[in-house]
Protein backbone atom coordinates (compact mmCIF):
# COMPACT_ATOMS: atom_id res chain seq x y z
CA UNK A 1 0.00 0.00 0.00
CA UNK A 2 1.35 3.43 -0.92
CA UNK A 3 -0.37 6.51 0.43
CA UNK A 4 0.80 10.08 0.11
CA UNK A 5 -0.54 13.36 1.48
CA UNK A 6 -3.88 12.22 2.73
CA UNK A 7 -5.85 10.28 5.28
CA UNK A 8 -6.85 6.68 4.70
CA UNK A 9 -9.79 5.46 6.75
CA UNK A 10 -10.30 1.72 6.50
CA UNK A 11 -13.73 1.98 8.02
CA UNK A 12 -14.65 0.50 11.36
CA UNK A 13 -15.92 -2.65 13.04
CA UNK A 14 -16.42 -5.41 10.45
CA UNK A 15 -13.28 -4.73 8.46
CA UNK A 16 -10.60 -7.17 7.44
CA UNK A 17 -7.50 -6.66 5.35
CA UNK A 18 -5.09 -9.33 4.29
CA UNK A 19 -2.21 -9.76 1.92
CA UNK A 20 -2.92 -11.90 -1.14
CA UNK A 21 0.29 -12.20 -3.11
CA UNK A 22 1.49 -8.75 -4.12
CA UNK A 23 -1.90 -7.09 -3.71
CA UNK A 24 -3.36 -5.81 -0.45
CA UNK A 25 -7.05 -6.66 -0.13
CA UNK A 26 -9.26 -4.41 1.97
CA UNK A 27 -12.72 -5.87 2.64
CA UNK A 28 -15.76 -3.91 3.86
CA UNK A 29 -19.17 -5.20 4.82
CA UNK A 30 -21.10 -2.02 5.58
CA UNK A 31 -18.50 0.72 5.62
CA UNK A 32 -16.30 2.38 3.04
CA UNK A 33 -12.75 3.52 2.51
CA UNK A 34 -12.53 7.28 2.13
CA UNK A 35 -9.51 9.31 1.10
CA UNK A 36 -9.08 13.04 1.56
CA UNK A 37 -6.13 15.37 1.18
CA UNK A 38 -4.31 16.19 -2.03
CA UNK A 39 -1.95 13.93 -3.95
CA UNK A 40 -3.40 10.54 -2.98
CA UNK A 41 -1.74 7.62 -4.79
CA UNK A 42 -2.74 3.97 -4.51
CA UNK A 43 -1.13 0.97 -6.18
CA UNK A 44 -2.06 -2.74 -6.20
CA UNK A 45 -4.89 -2.39 -3.68
CA UNK A 46 -8.20 -4.24 -3.88
CA UNK A 47 -11.12 -2.38 -2.28
CA UNK A 48 -14.22 -4.53 -1.69
CA UNK A 49 -17.60 -3.80 -0.20
CA UNK A 50 -19.18 -7.18 0.51
CA UNK A 51 -22.76 -5.93 0.86
CA UNK A 52 -24.74 -7.91 -1.71
CA UNK A 53 -26.86 -6.79 -4.66
CA UNK A 54 -29.96 -6.50 -2.46
CA UNK A 55 -30.34 -3.18 -0.71
CA UNK A 56 -29.07 0.35 -1.18
CA UNK A 57 -25.79 2.18 -1.54
CA UNK A 58 -22.65 0.22 -0.68
CA UNK A 59 -19.61 2.33 -1.54
CA UNK A 60 -16.27 0.52 -1.67
CA UNK A 61 -14.08 3.59 -2.21
CA UNK A 62 -14.77 7.33 -1.95
CA UNK A 63 -12.11 9.81 -3.06
CA UNK A 64 -12.21 13.54 -2.31
CA UNK A 65 -8.56 14.20 -3.08
CA UNK A 66 -7.20 16.56 -5.72
CA UNK A 67 -4.61 15.00 -8.06
CA UNK A 68 -5.55 11.48 -6.94
CA UNK A 69 -4.02 8.63 -8.97
CA UNK A 70 -4.83 4.91 -8.73
CA UNK A 71 -2.79 2.29 -10.57
CA UNK A 72 -3.49 -1.44 -10.84
CA UNK A 73 -6.26 -1.32 -8.24
CA UNK A 74 -9.55 -3.21 -7.98
CA UNK A 75 -12.72 -1.53 -6.73
CA UNK A 76 -15.54 -3.97 -6.15
CA UNK A 77 -19.07 -3.61 -4.85
CA UNK A 78 -22.61 -3.69 -6.13
CA UNK A 79 -24.41 -0.34 -5.93
CA UNK A 80 -22.23 2.82 -6.01
CA UNK A 81 -18.86 1.04 -5.80
CA UNK A 82 -16.68 4.04 -6.70
CA UNK A 83 -17.66 7.44 -5.36
CA UNK A 84 -15.47 9.98 -7.16
CA UNK A 85 -16.50 12.76 -4.81
CA UNK A 86 -14.73 15.81 -6.22
CA UNK A 87 -11.63 17.41 -7.74
CA UNK A 88 -9.19 15.79 -10.24
CA UNK A 89 -8.77 12.02 -10.34
CA UNK A 90 -6.99 9.50 -12.58
CA UNK A 91 -7.31 5.72 -12.81
CA UNK A 92 -5.04 3.44 -14.86
CA UNK A 93 -5.18 -0.35 -15.31
CA UNK A 94 -7.90 -0.67 -12.69
CA UNK A 95 -10.82 -3.11 -12.48
CA UNK A 96 -14.10 -1.57 -11.31
CA UNK A 97 -17.01 -3.90 -10.53
CA UNK A 98 -20.64 -3.18 -9.78
CA UNK A 99 -24.30 -3.40 -10.68
CA UNK A 100 -26.02 -0.01 -10.35
CA UNK A 101 -24.51 3.48 -10.66
CA UNK A 102 -21.17 2.00 -9.72
CA UNK A 103 -19.15 5.00 -10.89
CA UNK A 104 -20.58 8.30 -9.70
CA UNK A 105 -19.70 11.63 -8.13
CA UNK A 106 -18.79 15.20 -8.99
CA UNK A 107 -15.08 14.72 -9.71
CA UNK A 108 -13.30 15.43 -12.97
CA UNK A 109 -12.06 11.88 -13.54
CA UNK A 110 -10.20 10.13 -16.35
CA UNK A 111 -10.15 6.33 -16.48
CA UNK A 112 -7.66 4.72 -18.89
CA UNK A 113 -6.82 1.12 -19.90
CA UNK A 114 -9.19 -0.20 -17.25
CA UNK A 115 -12.03 -2.72 -17.06
CA UNK A 116 -15.59 -1.87 -16.03
CA UNK A 117 -17.16 -5.19 -15.08
CA UNK A 118 -20.89 -5.76 -14.64
CA UNK A 119 -21.97 -8.07 -11.82
CA UNK A 120 -25.26 -9.95 -11.66
CA UNK A 121 -27.91 -7.54 -10.33
CA UNK A 122 -30.73 -8.40 -7.95
CA UNK A 123 -33.75 -10.20 -9.34
CA UNK A 124 -35.80 -7.90 -11.54
CA UNK A 125 -33.09 -5.23 -11.69
CA UNK A 126 -30.73 -4.18 -14.46
CA UNK A 127 -27.20 -2.81 -14.64
CA UNK A 128 -26.32 0.89 -14.80
CA UNK A 129 -22.69 1.94 -14.93
CA UNK A 130 -22.98 5.70 -14.41
CA UNK A 131 -25.35 7.74 -12.26
CA UNK A 132 -26.87 10.73 -14.04
CA UNK A 133 -29.15 12.13 -11.39
CA UNK A 134 -27.85 15.73 -11.43
CA UNK A 135 -29.21 18.38 -13.78
CA UNK A 136 -25.91 18.54 -15.69
CA UNK A 137 -24.19 15.12 -15.60
CA UNK A 138 -21.37 14.45 -18.03
CA UNK A 139 -19.67 11.30 -19.30
CA UNK A 140 -17.56 10.47 -22.34
CA UNK A 141 -16.80 6.93 -23.50
CA UNK A 142 -14.02 6.87 -26.06
CA UNK A 143 -11.53 4.46 -27.59
CA UNK A 144 -13.05 1.67 -25.52
CA UNK A 145 -14.13 -1.89 -26.22
CA UNK A 146 -17.83 -2.15 -25.40
CA UNK A 147 -19.32 -5.60 -24.93
CA UNK A 148 -22.75 -6.79 -26.00
CA UNK A 149 -24.11 -6.45 -22.47
CA UNK A 150 -24.73 -2.78 -23.26
CA UNK A 151 -28.25 -2.16 -24.59
CA UNK A 152 -28.45 -0.53 -28.05
CA UNK A 153 -29.85 2.72 -26.61
CA UNK A 154 -26.70 2.97 -24.50
CA UNK A 155 -28.02 5.53 -22.02
CA UNK A 156 -31.08 5.74 -19.80
CA UNK A 157 -32.94 8.58 -18.14
CA UNK A 158 -32.54 8.78 -14.38
CA UNK A 159 -35.55 7.03 -12.81
CA UNK A 160 -37.91 9.69 -11.52
CA UNK A 161 -35.70 12.44 -12.89
CA UNK A 162 -36.82 15.51 -14.78
CA UNK A 163 -37.21 15.12 -18.53
CA UNK A 164 -35.40 18.45 -18.94
CA UNK A 165 -32.16 16.84 -17.75
CA UNK A 166 -31.70 15.10 -21.11
CA UNK A 167 -31.12 18.58 -22.56
CA UNK A 168 -28.64 19.74 -19.93
CA UNK A 169 -26.56 16.55 -19.65
CA UNK A 170 -23.49 15.86 -21.79
CA UNK A 171 -23.00 12.24 -22.85
CA UNK A 172 -20.79 11.39 -25.80
CA UNK A 173 -18.96 8.56 -27.53
CA UNK A 174 -15.89 8.46 -29.76
CA UNK A 175 -14.27 5.65 -31.79
CA UNK A 176 -15.33 2.73 -29.64
CA UNK A 177 -15.13 -0.90 -30.73
CA UNK A 178 -16.84 -4.15 -29.76
CA UNK A 179 -20.27 -5.69 -30.11
CA UNK A 180 -21.93 -2.93 -28.08
CA UNK A 181 -20.14 0.00 -29.71
CA UNK A 182 -22.51 0.77 -32.58
CA UNK A 183 -24.27 4.08 -32.01
CA UNK A 184 -27.12 3.05 -34.30
CA UNK A 185 -30.09 2.91 -31.96
CA UNK A 186 -28.56 5.17 -29.32
CA UNK A 187 -30.82 7.62 -27.50
CA UNK A 188 -31.92 10.66 -29.49
CA UNK A 189 -31.34 13.26 -26.80
CA UNK A 190 -30.18 16.86 -27.21
CA UNK A 191 -27.39 16.13 -24.74
CA UNK A 192 -26.03 13.00 -26.47
CA UNK A 193 -23.28 13.40 -29.06
CA UNK A 194 -21.07 11.39 -31.37
CA UNK A 195 -18.01 13.57 -31.16
CA UNK A 196 -15.11 14.17 -33.55
CA UNK A 197 -11.40 14.11 -32.80
CA UNK A 198 -11.07 17.80 -31.85
CA UNK A 199 -13.80 17.47 -29.24
CA UNK A 200 -12.40 14.13 -28.02
CA UNK A 201 -9.01 15.70 -27.23
CA UNK A 202 -10.71 17.78 -24.54
CA UNK A 203 -11.34 14.58 -22.58
CA UNK A 204 -7.82 13.18 -22.56
CA UNK A 205 -5.70 13.82 -19.46
CA UNK A 206 -5.92 17.50 -20.44
CA UNK A 207 -9.41 17.37 -18.90
CA UNK A 208 -7.75 17.08 -15.48
CA UNK A 209 -4.64 19.14 -16.36
CA UNK A 210 -2.83 15.81 -16.19
CA UNK A 211 0.35 16.85 -17.98
CA UNK A 212 1.01 19.22 -15.11
CA UNK A 213 0.95 16.60 -12.33
CA UNK A 214 0.66 13.00 -13.55
CA UNK A 215 4.36 12.67 -14.54
CA UNK A 216 5.33 13.35 -10.92
CA UNK A 217 3.17 10.46 -9.68
CA UNK A 218 5.03 7.84 -11.72
CA UNK A 219 1.68 6.39 -12.80
CA UNK A 220 1.61 5.44 -16.52
CA UNK A 221 -0.85 7.37 -18.65
CA UNK A 222 -1.85 8.12 -22.22
CA UNK A 223 -1.09 11.80 -22.86
CA UNK A 224 -3.45 12.02 -25.84
CA UNK A 225 -5.68 9.86 -27.96
CA UNK A 226 -4.37 6.35 -28.57
CA UNK A 227 -0.62 5.91 -28.67
CA UNK A 228 1.70 4.33 -26.09
CA UNK A 229 1.42 4.64 -22.34
CA UNK A 230 3.76 7.32 -20.96
CA UNK A 231 6.16 6.64 -18.09
CA UNK A 232 6.75 3.61 -15.92
CA UNK A 233 5.29 3.12 -12.47
CA UNK A 234 8.02 3.14 -9.85
CA UNK A 235 6.90 3.93 -6.35
CA UNK A 236 9.12 2.82 -3.49
Same domain, 16 and 82: yes
Query: With contact defined as beta carbons under 8 Å apart, do 103 and 130 qualify?
Result: yes
pLDDT, position 16: 42
pLDDT digits (tens, 9 = 90+) for 128-178: 888 776 778 899 999 999 988 888 999 988 766 566 678 888 999 999 999
Same domain, 153 and 62: no
Rounded to an integer, what distance in angstroms lies between the CA atom of residue 164 and that of residue 169?
9
Count of domains observed in the chain: 2
Nearest to 217 by CA among 201, 234, 202: 234
Same domain, 6 and 109: yes
Pairing relation of β-strands 7-9 and 33-36?
A: antiparallel
Same domain, 77 and 116: yes
Q: Answer with the one of 85, 107, 131 that is the final residue of a domain.
A: 131
pLDDT digits (tens, 9 = 90+) for 212-223: 999 999 999 999
In a domain, 85, yes or no: yes
Same domain, 169 and 112: no
Give how far Cα 50 sits from Cα of 11, 12, 26, 116, 221, Å.
13, 14, 10, 18, 30
Same domain, 187 and 136: yes
Q: What is the arithmetic mean of pLDDT over 50-55?
A: 74
**Which is catalytic among the residues 12, 95, 101, 209?**
101
Lowest mean pLDDT among 46-60, 157-171, 172-186, 190-204: 157-171
What integer best gives the mean pLDDT of the chain? 80
Same domain, 104 and 145: no
Q: Which domain holds residue 178?
A: 132-204
pTM over the 0.75 mark: yes
pLDDT, position 164: 61
Same domain, 124 and 161: no
pLDDT, position 18: 41
Same domain, 78 and 163: no
**101 included as an active-site residue:** yes
Same domain, 144 and 43: no
In a domain, 228, yes or no: no
In a domain, 233, yes or no: no
pLDDT, position 235: 43
Confidence of residue 43 (pLDDT cuts 50, 70, 90): very high
pLDDT at 56 over 90: no
Residue with the bigger pLDDT between 127 and 87: it is: 87
pLDDT, position 233: 42
Same domain, 4 and 115: yes
In a domain, 20, yes or no: yes
Same domain, 59 and 158: no
Amino acid sequence: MTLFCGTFNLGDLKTDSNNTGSRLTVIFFNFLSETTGNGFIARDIEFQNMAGPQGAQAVALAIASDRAALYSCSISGYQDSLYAVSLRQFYCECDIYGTIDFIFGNAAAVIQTSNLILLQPADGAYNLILANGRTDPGAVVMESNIGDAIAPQGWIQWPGGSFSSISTLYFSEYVNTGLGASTYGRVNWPGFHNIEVIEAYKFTVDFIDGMGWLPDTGVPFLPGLGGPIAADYSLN
